[in-house]
């Protein structure tokens, strides 16, 4: 996914273009993992020279959710994890031991009978780190 979808959403909603919004979106684009707020802030500190307030960060994340650019998944303790939305069905694993959220390959779940209305699937099981 590229910045084109973000720019398209900005034009449709007639929002101002913001460097902070682009920086947050770039952090999400560069990661293959699901990121929580702390991960996003750490990614921003590496790439964006200014400090972004939590209010601004949450406001832009909500903007991405409304535009259907990202998916938000909450673990059992209501900690939110964010991932860029993909064109295909997304499968997430919430670890029953460490509660981290990770993406799984859909190939492992190809046998599932899935309706078109499903946005994503969440599976609760131990992650690879916790099973070893």
> Could you tell me the domains of the chain?
3-74 (1.10.10.10), 87-131 (3.30.1490)
Give me the pLDDT at residue 97, please: 85
Structure-token match 């899935």, residue found? 114
Give me the pLDDT at residue 26, please: 92
Give me the pLDDT at residue 132, please: 76
Q: Residues marked as binding?
A: 95, 98
Give me the pLDDT at residue 59, please: 93
Long-range pairs, 48-51, Cβ under 8 A, ≥24: 48/19, 48/20, 48/23, 50/20
Q: Residues marked as binding for Zn(2+)?
A: 95, 98
Give me the pLDDT at residue 111, please: 57
Give me the pLDDT at residue 44, please: 93
> In whole numbers, what is the pLDDT of the chain averaged over residues?
83
Q: Spell out the residues 6+ positions from residue 22 whose beta carbon is closer than 8 angstroms to its own.
A: 3, 6
| Ranges in the chain, pLDDT < 70 | 1, 106-118
């Amino acid at each position: 996914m590229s910045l084109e979808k973000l720019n398209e959403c900005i034009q449709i909603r007639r929002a101002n273009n913001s460097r902070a919004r682009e920086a947050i979106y770039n952090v999400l684009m560069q990661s293959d993992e699901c990121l929580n707020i702390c991960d996003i802030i750490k990614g921003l500190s590496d790439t964006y020279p200014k400090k972004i307030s939590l209010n601004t960060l949450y406001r832009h994340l909500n903007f991405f959710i409304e535009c259907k650019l990202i998916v938000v998944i909450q673990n059992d303790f209501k900690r939110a994890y964010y991932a860029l939305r993909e064109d295909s069905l997304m499968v997430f694993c919430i670890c029953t031991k460490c509660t981290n959220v990770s993406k799984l390959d859909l190939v492992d779940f190809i046998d599932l009978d899935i309706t078109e209305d499903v946005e994503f699937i969440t599976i609760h099981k131990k992650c690879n780190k916790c099973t070893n």
